[in-house]
Amino acid sequence: MSDIRLEGVSKRYGSVAAADNVDLTVAQGEFVTILGPSGSGKTTLLSLIAGLTAPTAGRIFIGGRDVTAAPAQQRNIGLVFQSYALFPHMSVLENVLFPLGVRKIGGAEARGRAIEALKQVRLDGLENRRPSQLSGGQQQRVALARAIVFKPDILLLDEPLGALDRKLREELQVELKQLQRTLGITTLLVTHDQEEALSLSDRIMVLNHGKTQQVAGPAEAYLKPANRFVAEFLGIANFVALPDGGQGLVRPERIRLSANGGGKPARIVEAIYLGQMVRYHLALTGALDGAPAMVAAAPFVGPAYSPGEQVSVSWESADVWPVT
Ligand code: ADP
Ligand code: MG
């Protein structure tokens, strides 16, 4: 059963098409990420689904019901934004109780649900704190608890981890994924971070200028991008000439380096240590191939190549994906 369906959805702001004829079907319980650069229309799409803004054209279905004209409060959606948007004068518990009060749920029932939601985001024990007495990560957990406490049909998350530092962001990514799986809640996450999209999602929708570029599973989008934009937005792409005159891409980890020849001669320009991996920037020194500069990535199991070293570069034809 599809939980969210967009049919030809467009949103214009004057001459800007913030959403341009977007189709999307999200299945019950699925985790889909909308990935795109700043200004590509990610927030616009979430706002349209949430009912915070109305489309210029197209139809929006939630749980099979046409909600195109339905106001936000009739859509039973949990929302989390990058700015935590907590009520500063209320305690953590009062913040989480708030959406229940709006829905006329009070007393022991409300309290029980709020405590349960706070447990689910691992904040039990902090019920009486004010938001200002919490870290950024904790505040975002409160926002998450507030978004799930009324058992929404759908969870919409707009760059929820964007304000957090890297380590905390990675921790919360894992927790978010676990929570989503436990609740089985249909989730749409917006991010401009390709690693976040690749690591969290069942499927990724790549957006540019309000237009869908590709909807695919993470591995497919990464290895079989629909076009050059997706290829470059999802990571580093080496573009190589194809026999038919077209272009193909090879991802850095599929490039093999050897000190013993057998491939194309190249010089190591830069070796960048990334922890688990080393990234090599290479200059092909033989006949120009349409790919004079390349990037390779290899697990760091030392010793690594050094800048200036001569190596030979090769790749399997199966790792070349044609791009347009
Ligand atoms: P993203 O979330 O991917 O950064 P947005 O959905 O916020 O992108 O914006 C998409 C485009 O629509 C941008 O060009 C933005 O300037 C424009 N836009 C968004 N909201 C409005 C608005 N309320 N009025 C006018 N233009 C808007
Ligand atoms: Mg946005």
pLDDT the model gives residue 2: 67
Q: Is the pLDDT of residue 96 over 90?
A: yes
Least confident of 5-14, 153-162, 228-237, 286-295: 286-295
* Confidence tier at 1 by pLDDT (50, 70, 90): low
pLDDT the model gives residue 100: 97
Q: Which CATH class is domain 4-229?
A: alpha beta
Residue 82 Cα, ligand 2 centroid: separation in angstroms? 9
Q: Is the pLDDT of residue 27 over 80?
A: yes
> Whose CA is closest to atom 1 on ligand 1?
39
Q: Do domains 4-229 and 238-323 have the same CATH topology?
A: no
Residue 228 Cα, ligand 1 centroid: separation in angstroms? 23
Q: Is the pLDDT of residue 289 over 60?
A: no
* CA dist list (Å): 240 to 145, 197, 230, 231, 257: 48, 26, 16, 13, 16
* Confidence tier at 192 by pLDDT (50, 70, 90): very high
pLDDT the model gives residue 115: 97
Beta pairing class for 321-323 and 57-62: unpaired
Q: Is the pLDDT of residue 197 over 90?
A: yes
pLDDT the model gives residue 163: 85
Q: Is the pLDDT of residue 249 over 60?
A: yes
Q: Is the pLDDT of residue 291 over 60?
A: no
> Whose CA is closest to atom 15 on ligand 1?
39
pLDDT the model gives residue 300: 84
Residue 35 Cα, ligand 2 centroid: separation in angstroms? 10
pLDDT the model gives residue 292: 73
Average pLDDT over residues 153-162: 94
Q: Is the pLDDT of residue 47 over 60?
A: yes
Average pLDDT over residues 301-309: 86
Helix (H) or strand (E) holding 249: strand 247-250
* Confidence tier at 84 by pLDDT (50, 70, 90): confident
- The string over 182-209, giving b where at least 16 C-beta atoms fall within 10 Å of a residue's C-beta and e elsewhere, is ebebbbbbbbbbbebbbebbebbbbbbe
- The string over 144-153, giving b where at least 16 C-beta atoms fall within 10 Å of a residue's C-beta and e elsewhere, is bbbbbbbebe
Residue 213 Cα, ligand 1 centroid: separation in angstroms? 18
Average pLDDT over residues 150-173: 93
Q: Of all residues in the chain, what percent carry a pLDDT higher than 90?
A: 85
Q: Is the pLDDT of residue 86 over 60?
A: yes
Average pLDDT over residues 150-158: 96
Residues listed for the chain: 324
* CA dist list (Å): 215 to 7, 62, 207, 222, 234: 14, 19, 9, 11, 13
* Confidence tier at 92 by pLDDT (50, 70, 90): very high
Q: Which of 172, 182, 169, 156 is nearest to 42 (CA)?
A: 156
What's this model's pTM, rounded to 2 decimal places?
0.93
Average pLDDT over residues 267-291: 83
Most informative mutation of 43, 46, 158, 192 for ligand 1 (most atoms within 8 A of CB): 43
E strand segments, 14-55: 16-27, 31-35
pLDDT the model gives residue 285: 83
Residue 205 β-bridge partners:
34, 215
Q: Is the pLDDT of residue 152 over 70?
A: yes
What number does CATH give the domain 238-323?
A: 2.40.50.140
pLDDT the model gives residue 283: 92
For ligand 1, say whether the CB of 13 is within 6 Å of any of its atoms.
yes
pLDDT the model gives residue 287: 56
Residue 19 β-bridge partners:
11
Ligand 1 closest atom vs CA 37:
3
Domain assignments of the chain as residue spans, ordered by start:
4-229, 238-323
* Confidence tier at 5 by pLDDT (50, 70, 90): very high
